[in-house]
Amino acid sequence: MTTATGTTPKPGELARLTAARLTEAGLEVSGPDPDDADGRRLFIWCPGGPYSLVITDDAHAELQGDTEDPHHAADIAAALLSPAPSTARHPAAISDGGITFKGVTGMDLKAKGFNVTLDVYVDDFYYDVSGDIAATSPDADAGTVYVNDDGGLTWDRDLWPEHADTEGQGAQRFRWHFPDPAAVARDIADTITRALPTGISHDLPAAC
């Protein structure tokens, strides 16, 4: 059985570096909370926010937020998945009550050239069904964006394969580390910055 050992950035370092980069870009950021046992959660306050961003020490990023407009959700998702997303809209994706929120978003994302699938969840106890869409880029591993009918949007990306280095230590062991933690933070922050509007949100709490 292969055993993984390794050196990682200091606990919470990737989150702190990302927070600094987002702040430099003009976003209002709070966290990470040093008293939090997890200590990796950031809150991004911007028009249309807030958004929650969790960054683990092994470079897994998860952004969560809510949107009110399915077309806007498609634009955010597209920017998270591509540095130069198309502005195309699906001509049949009309928000008139006849198509679900995730349906409009998914149709727009398909028109923009992304891969879109429907994830369905079955509740065999209450005999109910729910679902969301999952969008990915056909050109690069930029993570996955999930959107549901409540306007909830989640971007999930594992940056470990792209940024970590491994070193062999015999047949049964290896070491891994991030040679450039700042590059990981820059990758996360630059992706989020192009997707979210900069500026202080009117909903920014007084404590921040």
Query: Who has greater pLDDT, 133 or 164?
Result: 133
Residue 206 belongs to a domain: no
Residue 207 belongs to a domain: no
Residue 44 belongs to a domain: yes
Residue 202 belongs to a domain: no
Which residues form the domain of 32?
10-195
- As a whole-number percent, the residues of the chain with pLDDT over 70 amount to 84
Residue 16 belongs to a domain: yes
- What pLDDT score does 172 carry? 53
Residue 208 belongs to a domain: no
* pLDDT of 7 strictly over 70: no
- As a whole-number percent, the residues of the chain with pLDDT over 90 amount to 70
Query: Who has greater pLDDT, 201 or 124?
Result: 124
Residue 1 belongs to a domain: no
- What pLDDT score does 147 carry? 98
How does pLDDT run across 67-112, given as a tens digit for each residue? Answer: 999 999 999 999 999 999 999 999 998 877 689 999 999 999 999 9
How does pLDDT run across 145-179, given as a tens digit for each residue? Answer: 999 999 999 999 999 999 988 765 555 555 678 88
The mean predicted confidence, pLDDT, of the chain is 86
CA-to-CA distance for 101 and 94, rounded, in angstroms?
A: 10
Beta bridge partners of 122: 129
Residue 4 belongs to a domain: no
Kindly state the average pLDDT of the residues 32-55. Answer: 85
Domain count for the chain: 1
- What pLDDT score does 94 carry? 85
